[in-house]
Amino acid sequence: MRTQVVIIGGGPSGLLLGQLLQRQGIDTVLLERHSREYVLARIRAGVLEAGLVNLLHEAGVGERMQRDGLQHEGIYLAHSNRGFRIDFRRLCDGAVTVYGQTELTRDLYQARDAMGAAMLHQVDQVEIHGADSERPQVNFIHDGRARRIDCDFIAGCDGFHGVSRNTIPADRRSQFERVYPFGWLGVLSQTPPVSEELIYASHERGFALCSMRSPSLSRYYIQVALEDNVQQWSDAEFWNELKRRIPHDAAESIVTGDSIEKSIAPLRSFVAEPMRWGRLFLCGDAAHIVPPTGAKGLNLAASDVYYLWRGLRQYYDAGDTRGIDDYSALALARVWKAERFSWSMTNLLHRFPGQSPFDLRMQQAQLEYLESSSAAQTALAENYLGLPY
Ligand code: APR
Ligand code: PHB
C-alpha cells in the first residue's frame, strides 16, 4: 500500500491534520491504536482559541461547534474567597469558545468518514522505518495481518505515549520536563454550571476550577495529592472540598449531582526538540505536554497542525521545502511560550508541598497585582486567548 502522508494517531492532532490535507487533495492514511469508541470516551479540556476555531472552519468541521460552542469573553480568578474578572473583550478584544474536545473529535471522525479517507483502528505494533531516508515506511499489524505502507512523509500525532517521538534517535533529541507534585481530580456532572464563565480559584487547601461543557453539563476540578486515588473520593467529599475552595457566593449557589465521570490526572510540562527528524514530524502531545491550568494542550496541537499543513501544502503545490524545513523551529517557538504561560498559571494558583511562607507571599502579591493592574491582566488575557500563528 502507498500514500502521501501516513498519520499515526487518531486524536485531535491526527484527525485535524488529515482533514486539512485531504481537502487539499493530499492523500493520507490514519492509523489509530484504539477503537473509535475508546477515543470518544476520553474526557478532555474544551477551551478553543480563535486560531483553532478558524482552523476548524477551514477544515469544514466548524458547523456544530459554531452552533453549540459557548463564547466566553472572560474568566474569573479567585483567591481569599473573592473573585475578580479578566475581561478578554475589553483588554484584548477577544474571546474563547468552550466546546468539548470529545465533540470536536466526533465531528472530525464524521468528516473523515464522509470523505471516505482511509482510517484503520486497533492497529498494533506500529513501527516507523527509513524516516531519515527518501522512502519512509510504516509497518503494523491490523486484523491479525502484518501490513506495510510506503509514503512521502509521516506525521507522528500519537500522543505522549506513542511510538513516533522515540523513533528519533536519543542522540538527536533533547527532552525538557517538569513533573508537578500534585494531580487534578476531575468530575463531570449533569448539572448547570455554577458560573457562566470559568472560575480558577487559589485556596490554602489547594487549587479548584469550575468549568463546563454545556449549559447543563459541568466540569469541576480540585488539586489533590499525587498518592490519592479516585475510590478515596466519594461524590459528597468531592463537592464539599470544591465548595471550601471557591468563593462563598459560588459555593452557596452551586448545584451538585452524581458524577458521570471522575478521574485523576497528573500534571506535567514536557517538550521534545526537534519536532522533525527527516521525513517524520511530531505534532501535539507526541512532542509536548502542558499542565491543564491554561487550557493550552489542544490549542498547541492546533498550531502544530497548522504549520505542518502549510508546509506540506507548499511542498506538494510547488515543490518548495521551506515550510517543512522551518516546521520544527516555528512550532517550538510557539510551544515554549505556551509552556511558559501554563507553568506560570500552575505556579500561581496551586499549593506546593513544602512551600515556604515567602513563596506564599509571592503568590499572594502576584494575585493582588493581577487584581489591580490592567497591564498584568492584559498579559494574562493575551496568553489565554492564544498567541498568533
Ligand atoms: N499507534 C497508533 N496510534 C497510537 C499509538 C500507536 N503506537 N500510540 C498512541 N496512539 C493514539 C492514541 O490512542 C490516541 O488516540 O494516538 C492518539 C493521540 O491522541 P491524543 O493523546 O489526544 O494527542 P493529540 O491528538 O496530540 O491531542 C492533543 O488533545 O488529547 C488531548 O491533552 C491532549 O489536549 C491535548 C490534545
Ligand atoms: C475543562 O473544562 O476541562 C478545562 C477548562 C479549562 C482548563 C482546564 C480544563 O484550564
* Longest alpha-carbon distance in the chain: 63
pLDDT(222) > 90: yes
pLDDT(85) > 90: yes
Kind and range of the H or E run holding 300: helix 297-318
Other beta carbons within 10 angstroms of residue 68's beta carbon come to: 15
pLDDT(45) > 90: no
Digit-coded pLDDT (tens) for 300-314: 999 999 999 999 999
User: Catalytic site residue 384?
Assistant: yes
pLDDT at 44: 86
Q: Ligand 2 centroid to 230 CA: how many Å?
A: 19
Q: Measured from the CB, is residue 183 less than 6 Å from ligand 1?
A: no
Q: How confident is the model at residue 60 (pLDDT cuts 50, 70, 90)?
A: very high
pLDDT(293) > 90: yes
User: Catalytic site residue 296?
Assistant: yes
Q: Which ligand is nearest to the CA of 42?
A: 1
Q: Where in the chain is the domain with CATH 3.30.9.10?
A: 181-267+352-385
pLDDT at 81: 80
Spatial neighbors of 34 by CB under 8 A, at least 6 apart, are 10, 121, 122
Question: Which of 76, 99, 220, 384 is labelled catalytic?
Answer: 384
| Top-tier CATH class for 181-267+352-385 | alpha beta
User: Catalytic site residue 200?
Assistant: yes
Digit-coded pLDDT (tens) for 143-189: 999 999 999 999 999 999 999 999 999 999 999 999 999 999 999 99
Q: What is the DSSP letter of 59?
A: T
Q: How confident is the model at residue 43 (pLDDT cuts 50, 70, 90)?
A: confident
Q: Which ligand is nearest to the CA of 161?
A: 1
Q: Which three cell numbers stand for residue 8?
A: 499515526
User: Catalytic site residue 129?
Assistant: no
Spatial neighbors of 312 by CB under 8 A, at least 6 apart, are 5, 21, 26, 153, 323, 324
Digit-coded pLDDT (tens) for 317-327: 999 999 999 99
Q: Ligand 1 centroid to 286 CA: how many Å?
A: 7
List pocket residues of ligand 2, CB cut-off 6 Å. Answer: 45-47, 198, 211, 219, 292-295
Q: Where in the chain is the domain with CATH 3.50.50.60?
A: 5-71+98-177+268-346
Q: Which pTM value belongs to this model?
A: 0.97
Name the 3-class secondary structure at 46.
coil
Q: Measured from the CB, is residue 304 less than 6 Å from ligand 1?
A: no
Q: Measured from the CB, is residue 9 less than 6 Å from ligand 1?
A: yes
Q: Measured from the CB, is residue 136 less than 6 Å from ligand 1?
A: no
Question: Which of 99, 200, 221, 327 is labelled catalytic?
Answer: 200
| DSSP for 191-243, written as a single string | S--SSSS-EEE--TT--EEEEEEETTEEEEEEEE-TT--GGG--HHHHHHHHH
User: How far apart, in whole angstroms, are the C-alpha atoms of residue 315 and residue 318?
Assistant: 6
pLDDT(138) > 90: yes
Q: Ligand 2 centroid to 278 CA: how many Å?
A: 35
pLDDT(139) > 90: yes
| Residue ID of nearest Cα to ligand 2 atom 9 | 45
Q: Could you tell me if 281 and 6 are in contact, meaning their C-beta atoms sit under 8 angstroms apart?
A: no
Q: Could you tell me if 187 and 63 are in contact, meaning their C-beta atoms sit under 8 angstroms apart?
A: no
> From edge to edge, which strands make up the β-sheet containing 276-277?
118-120, 28-31, 5-8, 153-156, 280-282, 276-277
Other beta carbons within 10 angstroms of residue 133's beta carbon come to: 10
> From edge to edge, which strands make up the β-sheet containing 96-98?
47-48, 96-98, 70-72
pLDDT at 80: 78
Question: Which of 292, 306, 307, 389 is labelled catalytic?
Answer: 292
Kind of pairing between the strands at 276-277 and 153-156? unpaired
User: Catalytic site residue 76?
Assistant: no
CATH topology of domain 5-71+98-177+268-346: FAD/NAD(P)-binding domain (3.50.50)
| Mean pLDDT, the chain, integer | 97
Q: Measured from the CB, is residue 197 less than 6 Å from ligand 1?
A: no
